[in-house]
Amino acid sequence: MFETFLRDRGNVVITGVPDGAEALVLARALEERRGGGLALTFVGRDAGHMQMVADALGFFAPEAAVLQFPAWDCLPYDRVSPNAGIVASRLATLGRLAQGIEADRPVVLLTTANAAIQRLPARDWTRHQHWRAAPGNRIDIAKLTGWLEVNGFLRCPTVRDTGEYAVRGGIVDLFAPGVEAPVRLDFFGDTLESIRSFDPETQRTARQLKQIELTAMSEVVLTEEAISRFRKGYVARFGAAPRDDILYHSISEGRRYAGMEHWLPLFHDRMETLFDYIGDTPVVLDSAVDDVLRERL
């Protein structure tokens, strides 16, 4: 089975392998796949199993880079939004996949059954939800803060958690998804003079950065186009919204509402899955999730 996978680049199901040993199987596959970039995708049964494989890969394949794509931590159409940290991890991974992974070492994507079958914003949308800057760039702070608001960042007095930002005169602090520490943007007029990471506890700056790349904090971005699409789709499916429909009226006014991510298809004109993002990259399935994916995809 395994030799066929290596030769034909097909998808395989791992069976009869003790928990924790899947990483050894993946490491063997990586030995035959030279070069960098996305080499394999592994679909595990749940988040705990995914993390176990990620930890084991650090031992069996230390030369490989690991990307994780977790599922939401809430039930469909729940009245709460998914955890901000999970959403940040998802969007950071989707951003790298949509733009094409260029690396000098093999990359393994780890995900779960629930994450793999969930519909996602299309790759074209994901590619455009990025903002890059480097010292010396001319940037309108008002436009930057507008971008942060639309893309799900929360303004606060002091930045401590992922998805927060603060503005104090010519200084913008923000904690972007997919990074370990927040950054401080120091402006002179409209010119970005420096980018420095800082400790969220002490607020003291640490080191200079050559550039910054931001991605959205949510899979729902409340642009005028997205709001209009939601309103039309919502009315078409459920009829005119009554006055006490808080979800509909909040989004119509451009205000984020807890749980609105569960209505994701109404905000986008096209949806895809993780398999569209990875293309023909070989997929290794945990035997516990094989039947589930075959039934739903």
Asked if residue 73 and residue 13 are part of one domain, the reply reads: yes
- Read off the pLDDT of each residue in 74-86 and give the average, rounded to a whole number: 87
pLDDT score recorded for residue 17: 75
Asked if residue 229 and residue 116 are part of one domain, the reply reads: no
Indicate whether 265 belongs to any domain.
no
Asked if residue 149 and residue 59 are part of one domain, the reply reads: no
- Read off the pLDDT of each residue in 56-60 and give the average, rounded to a whole number: 92
Determine how many CB atoms are found less than 10 A away from the CB of residue 9: 11
> For residue 235, what are the domain limits?
224-255
Indicate whether 266 belongs to any domain.
no
Indicate whether 261 belongs to any domain.
no
Closest by Cα among 113, 120, 132 to 220: 120
For 201, what's the count of Cα atoms within 13 Å in the CB-facing half-sphere? 0
pLDDT score recorded for residue 123: 94
- The domain total for the chain is 3
Residue 290: pLDDT over 70: no
pTM exceeds 0.85: no
Structure tokens at 77: 């159409």
pLDDT score recorded for residue 115: 94
Residue 180: pLDDT over 90: no
Q: In residues, how long is the chain? A: 297
Determine how many CB atoms are found less than 10 A away from the CB of residue 154: 17
Least confident of 26-35, 58-67, 75-84, 180-189: 26-35
Tens of pLDDT, residue by residue over 88-122, are 889 889 988 998 887 788 999 999 999 998 999 99
- H-only helix segments in the chain: 2-8, 22-31, 47-60, 84-99, 113-117, 123-128, 141-150, 224-238, 246-252, 274-278, 287-296
How many Å apart are CA 160 and CA 153, to the nearest integer? 12
Residue 3: pLDDT over 60: no
Asked if residue 166 and residue 103 are part of one domain, the reply reads: no
Asked if residue 94 and residue 67 are part of one domain, the reply reads: yes
Whether 62 contacts 128, CB under 8 Å:
no
Indicate whether 140 belongs to any domain.
yes
| Domain containing residue 147: CATH number | 3.30.2060.10
Asked if residue 96 and residue 37 are part of one domain, the reply reads: yes
Asked if residue 68 and residue 101 are part of one domain, the reply reads: yes
Asked if residue 115 and residue 9 are part of one domain, the reply reads: yes
Indicate whether 108 belongs to any domain.
yes
Indicate whether 52 belongs to any domain.
yes
Asked if residue 10 and residue 85 are part of one domain, the reply reads: yes
Indicate whether 264 belongs to any domain.
no
- Read off the pLDDT of each residue in 257-261 and give the average, rounded to a whole number: 92
Asked if residue 229 and residue 209 are part of one domain, the reply reads: no
pLDDT score recorded for residue 42: 93
How many Å apart are CA 92 and CA 70, to the nearest integer? 11
Q: Which residues of 230-261 are buried (b: 16+ CB within 10 A; e: fewer)?
A: beebbeeeeeeeeeeeebbeebeeeeebeebb
Quote the Cα angle for 96-102-107, to 5°. Answer: 75
Residue 4: pLDDT over 50: no
pLDDT score recorded for residue 294: 59
Backbone angles phi, psi at 66, to 5 degrees: -120, 125
- Read off the pLDDT of each residue in 246-254 and give the average, rounded to a whole number: 94
Quote the Cα angle for 90-261-163, to 5°. Answer: 55
| Domain containing residue 77: CATH number | 3.40.50.11180
How many Å apart are CA 149 and CA 229, to the nearest integer? 19
Asked if residue 140 and residue 55 are part of one domain, the reply reads: no
Asked if residue 148 and residue 66 are part of one domain, the reply reads: no
Q: How many helices (H) and strands (E) does the chain have?
A: 11, 15
Structure tokens at 133: 């800057």
